[in-house]
Structure 1
Amino acid sequence: MIFRSKFSDVDIKKIGVYQFITSNPYGIDDDKAIFIDGNTDKKLTFGQLKTNSKKFAFGLINKIGFKRGDVLAIYSPNHIDYPVVIFGAIAAGGIVTSVNPEYTSEEFAFQLKDSGASVIICHPDYLEKAIKAAKVANIPESKILLFDENEINDFLPFLSLLSDQEINPVEYTPEEVKSTTAYLCYSSGTTGKNKGVETTHYNMVSNLSQLDVFEDQINHENVYIGTLPSFHIYGLTLFIHFVILKGASCVLLRKFELEKFCRAIQDYKVNIAPIVPPIVLLLVNNPIARKYDLSSLKLAISAAAPLSKDLCKKFVEIYKAPIKQAYGLTETTPFAIVAKTDNIVDGSIGILLPNVECKIISENNKELEYDEEGEFCIRGPNVMKGYLNNKEATDACIDSDGWFHTGDLGYADSQGNFFIVDRVKELIKYKGFQVAPAELESVLLTHPSIIDCAVTGIYSDEQATEYPLAYVVLKQNEIQSDELKKEIKDFVSQRVAPHKKLRGGIYFTDKIPKTPAGKILRRFLKERARNESI
């Protein structure tokens, strides 16, 4: 069966991202502070954003020859001027590719070459890596510009491009809106080499329009905490776009640090916190969080990775604020399924956004019914154009009927609530049984000695099957021992079916490898397990 949204379809405007973002549907004043630097208290108003982005666009075109269709790369953690650079490039008719600042110069060079970027705006702290990457990608050093106001070794700040004149932002026909790429975010690479996801103007306008109707309670009084990275589609869509559309405010932090995060919520009376499960885990378990007054918080939104029921429950008990889940992927811009704030269902990732359809299929492509587990397939105007320079990968995940095969396993109940189980490719196959790592991880996290964990599979030649094994991070002052390993193993065995037992063992580690969005990098753990001859 095909699952459809409970909402009526939204009429999606066929206009460019810049025109949509600055359309100001809720009538906010130009002096409204949209972005606030949580460290310096510097503010960027709605009026300044519009003016500076159009001045930057004029400078891009007239000072360094940036043309319609050119690609600008941003290599920086969150920054108060990140939106100015993004919308300046978009106003100039360009494409923005946002880059993880923690990438090595080699990884950065790959994205520059693959995306075809010709201009780099980078944070001064990452200039050395940017110079190396630009050299490999044949980008002249004159096309590397810096955030902040200072010139460093002849590298100019991007503000030097701001002209006295403003550009008339490039406009697109309805057909061009649908076909023109606005953003090139790169998939997190949990399954291998990163791929450039082509998000069109129509994709972004669609997802914002869907969210606008769905999140009808959000308004100019809301204050978001922006600690998730803007280079990731979650932060890009929610902080850099949705906040502007709603006329809300966002306190930007360079990156997540628990004390700064809590202090910003306290000082700026933040009431909405979009986060990921590792942050929820810290807020629940780390006593530092209790030192701050977080009573202004009215809602937390967790996305990018599954969140266990137990963790949700603990968060609500401690902070007296609801926490809801949202589901999506870079390929869906990202939001496809979101929980309604006034109807959060325990363990559910939510319901379908307007204009979104979902079917759940079995391994042999059969469409499933209510309460039957299978792979989520999503169809809607927010589904990407495709993977850049990779028709084979695009064709492998978007079928001829427009269904995007997500690779995520889950089910829907009769009320239209969706539940995520795990990644299809991450399921452990034990003697014909399927074992979901996320389920075992949610059990492990209820153990009093464990602060974080990850489950993966290791193949046993002797038994010709995969065994589930767990890497665990112990709480402070807990002592590693074989006795504790056995206790944890028994703890899990008492709570799961026999085929889900941790037959591969328990292994202590200092840290679980994760993407910036909080997804566990299981392939690294699998490799580690093989190398250690477990």
Structure 2
Amino acid sequence: MSKDGNYIHRSPRPPIDNQIPLNSQNVSMVDFLLVRTRPFSNQSALIDAASGRSLTFEELHSSIRRVSRNLIARHGIKKRDVILIFAPNSINFMVAFLGIVDSGAIATTVNPHYTIYELRKQVDDCGATLVFTVPELWDKVRDLNLPTIMLSTGNMRDAADASVPLTQFTDLLEEAFENPPIPDQCDNLGVTLRNNLNDDNDDKDGVTAALLYSSGTTGVNKGVVLTHMNFISSSVMVMMEQDARGEAPNVWLCFLPMFHISGLCNIAFTSLCMGNTLVVMAKFDMEQMFMLVERYKVNNIFMAPPIMIALAKQGKVTRFDLSSLGRFISGAAPLAKDIIDEVASLYPDVKVIQGYGLTESCGIISLVNPLMGAIPNGSTGTLVSGVEGKVIHTDTFKPLPPHQLGELCFRGPNIMPGYFNNMEATTITLDLEGWLHTGDLGYFDNEGRLYIVDRIKELIKYKGFQVAPAELEGLLLSHPEILDAVVVPLPDDQAGEVPIAYVVRSAQSSLTEKIVQKFITQQVSPFKRLHKVSFVTSVPKSPSGKILRRQIIQKLRSKF
């Protein structure tokens, strides 16, 4: 791991340059996918977990192009129009997304649990002109008064009086145009870009493919502009891991939501680009997950920390054949060492791997690679190919050497060009040298391994000392009777803030506040001790597994 005088860390992995097509700033991510997967045309690309319905890569290619051309011809979609996908995971979700970006339009995805207010806020911000959804969500969509395409069939009696055009997704799959030829070589992709994308000379950072909304470092949801090049780069960074292992295409399971960058890019798009078979679950269910592993011989499962915690707490599962499993990959939030150790001991033939990324980095920054030797638990591995990193002091902004805690900054071809129509937030987050200031607190060790400690703005300031909530949460989760926990600051006149915890006990637990406080006190410095413990039935989290700490803090502060 090399680092210069400014303590810039670089990836120990092979260079990414020879994996990226020439003229890459003008390359369509769909053309990239089609070229990569041409050899696998008769292999299953997507399988629906509930119905068993599947698409081969050849069928996927055809479906994408039909959706793309019918959007242009029948719905009048133009370059840079924004199209919203408001739906749970499905095969059609991925076909719709790829069809949208292939048409030259921009896809924006929305959490299906959003309220009407939250949905309207995103639509107003991005200016969406068309919606893909499902009948179950029509009540939230109808008031948008936008043309709507239903990704699935269902009870549409409530839509009989709709004042906007309604179309079934199957109508977009009608063969209205002859499929254009797939380019022979990735290096020629730049000249085969769709005609309606060709004149983006004013878009110096590449053609925009998607707007995914993130709170970023400033706390308010903003549209993260992600280009075709961002998606291609991010997928190549993950693909190189499978190529390095010399693995043939295998089977991945996707239950992380496709509206989130992890499910959309790290799992779905990347998996397809590798020629892997992707088994798609509409939502997570532990029993169904194990059943699908057995049925489809799943090799890799990406999961959020709460699922990894549940795996550790429930003990080894023996009623299903899990012999095909090779990797559990966790991201979205730091995972405690004790949890990693427990899962690894329960499933000794499965490698437990941590990774780290952000929406602003198109989902990937670092990843543990077992081929590079032992990685200490708690590390999110080393930087992926093509990414540089540094740590800066949170007050002086000066670069810091290894093992010193500060704000993590990264740059590379997967980093967003900015936030949609928000120059102020872009300027705060991206500096003039292209560094993405993440708002995450962490450090590199001497070997270039990355450790994520917490969010800077979520640090608890106790008499000038910084307390990282994630550290205390990890300790709490190491207790056998604690299923989940969150630590937040409580305003205090003398200390400024003190750490308190909300804890989910197991059903038969007899834990009390004093027992939990003593358990933590025995393991931490005095300024990190818990001043209050409350027992709750659940900890609020996003669909990607991140604790909604800000939501808890706001409710807590409203009481004072």
TM-score by length of 2: 0.89
Q: Displacement of 1:283 after TM fit?
A: 1.3
Aligned residue among 91, 101, 115 for 1:90: 101
Partner of 2:189: none
Aligned residue among 194, 214, 222 for 1:170: 194
The 3 A distance-change label for structure 1 pair 332 and 44 is same
Q: Displacement of 1:221 after TM fit?
A: 3.7
Aligned residue among 298, 305, 319 for 1:277: 305
Q: Which deviates further from its counterpart, 374-383 or 5-14?
A: 5-14
Partner of 2:519: 491
User: RMSD value over aligned CA atoms?
Assistant: 2.0
Partner Cα distance (1:52, 1:160) in 2? 11
The 3 A distance-change label for structure 1 pair 189 and 392 is closer
Provide, for residues 304-357 of structure 1, a one-character-per-residue CA deviation record: whole Å limited to 9, x for no partner.
100010000000111221111111100000101111133343211010111111
- Runs of 5+ in structure 2 lacking a partner? 1-6, 161-165, 181-192
Secondary structure, aligned partner of 1:24: helix
Partner Cα distance (1:527, 1:235) in 2? 28
The 3 A distance-change label for structure 1 pair 263 and 412 is same
Q: Which amino acid aligns with 2:31?
A: Q
Provide, for residues 406-454 of structure 1, a one-character-per-residue CA deviation record: whole Å limited to 9, x for no partner.
0111111111111111111111111111111010011001112210000
Partner Cα distance (2:358, 2:450) in 1? 15
Partner of 2:163: none
The 3 A distance-change label for structure 1 pair 189 and 510 is farther
Partner of 1:199: 226
Q: Which amino acid aligns with 2:152?
A: D
Partner of 1:389: 421
Q: Displacement of 1:46 after TM fit?
A: 0.5
Partner Cα distance (2:234, 2:94) in 1? 18
Matched, 1:476 2:507: yes
- Kept in 2, the 8 Å contact 1:223–1:271? The answer is yes
Identity of aligned residues (%): 38
Partner of 2:187: none
Matched, 1:316 2:344: yes
Task: Kindly report which structure 2 residues correspond to 1:338-417, keeping only aligned pairs within 5 A, or say none.
Answer: 338-342=367-371, 343=373, 344-363=375-394, 364-417=396-449
Aligned residue among 3, 9, 12 for 2:9: 3
Q: Displacement of 1:212 after TM fit?
A: 2.1
Task: Kindly report which structure 2 residues correspond to 1:70-85, keeping only aligned pairs within 5 A, or say none.
Answer: 70-85=81-96
Task: Kindly report which structure 2 residues correspond to 1:324-343, keeping only aligned pairs within 5 A, or say none.
Answer: 324-342=353-371, 343=373
- Kept in 2, the 8 Å contact 1:454–1:470? The answer is yes
Provide, for residues 239-270 of structure 1, a one-character-per-residue CA deviation record: whole Å limited to 9, x for no partner.
32111111011111001122222221222121
The 3 A distance-change label for structure 1 pair 288 and 350 is closer
- Kept in 2, the 8 Å contact 1:190–1:521? The answer is no
Matched, 1:225 2:253: yes
Q: Which amino acid aligns with 2:470?
A: A
Aligned residue pairs: how many? 520
Partner Cα distance (2:238, 2:521) in 1? 41
The 3 A distance-change label for structure 1 pair 22 and 215 is same
Task: Kindly report which structure 2 residues correspond to 1:398-477, keeping only aligned pairs within 5 A, or say none.
Answer: 398-461=430-493, 463-477=494-508
- Kept in 1, the 8 Å contact 2:134–2:153? The answer is no
Q: Which amino acid aligns with 1:58?
A: R
- Kept in 2, the 8 Å contact 1:196–1:387? The answer is yes
Q: Displacement of 1:36 after TM fit?
A: 0.7
The 3 A distance-change label for structure 1 pair 476 and 189 is farther
Q: Which deviates further from its counterpart, 214-223 or 273-282?
A: 214-223
Q: Displacement of 1:287 after TM fit?
A: 5.9
Q: Which amino acid aligns with 2:86?
A: Y
Q: Displacement of 1:528 after TM fit?
A: 3.0
Q: Displacement of 1:3 after TM fit?
A: 0.8
- Runs of 5+ in structure 1 lacking a partner? none
The 3 A distance-change label for structure 1 pair 220 and 81 is farther
Q: Displacement of 1:291 after TM fit?
A: 4.1
Partner Cα distance (1:270, 1:498) in 2? 46
Q: Displacement of 1:151 after TM fit?
A: 7.8
Partner Cα distance (2:129, 2:234) in 1? 28
Partner Cα distance (1:198, 1:395) in 2? 14
